[in-house]
Amino acid sequence: MRRFAILLFALLGLSACAMPDPVWAPDEAVERARFSASGPSSLTLFSVINVKSGNGGHSSLLVSAPSERVLFDPAGSFNHPRLPERHDVIHGMTNAAVDFYIDYHSRASWRVVRQDLVVSAEVAETALALVKANGPVPHAYCANSIASILRELPGFESIRTTMFPENLQAEFAKMPGVVTREYHDEDPDSNGYILARGI
Delimit the domains of the chain by residue range.
Answer: 36-183
Mean pLDDT within 183-199: 72
CA angle, 57 then 61 then 65, to 5°: 170
The predicted-structure confidence for 42-86, as pLDDT tens digits, reads as follows 999 999 999 999 999 999 999 999 999 999 999 999 999 999 999
- Residue range 149-175, pLDDT digits in tens: 999 999 999 999 999 999 999 999 999
Number of other CB atoms surrounding residue 134 within 10 Å: 17
How far does CA 152 lie from the centroid of its chain? 17
Contact 100, 199 (CB under 8 A): yes
The gap from C-alpha 115 to its chain's centroid, in whole angstroms, comes to: 12
Distance CA 82, CA 9 (A): 39
- 199 pLDDT higher than 50: yes
Q: What share of the chain is helix, strand, coil (3-state, %, to 5)?
A: 35, 20, 45
| Nearest Cα to Cα of residue 171 among 186, 160, 180 | 160
Which is nearest to 45 in space by CA: 96, 107, 119? 119
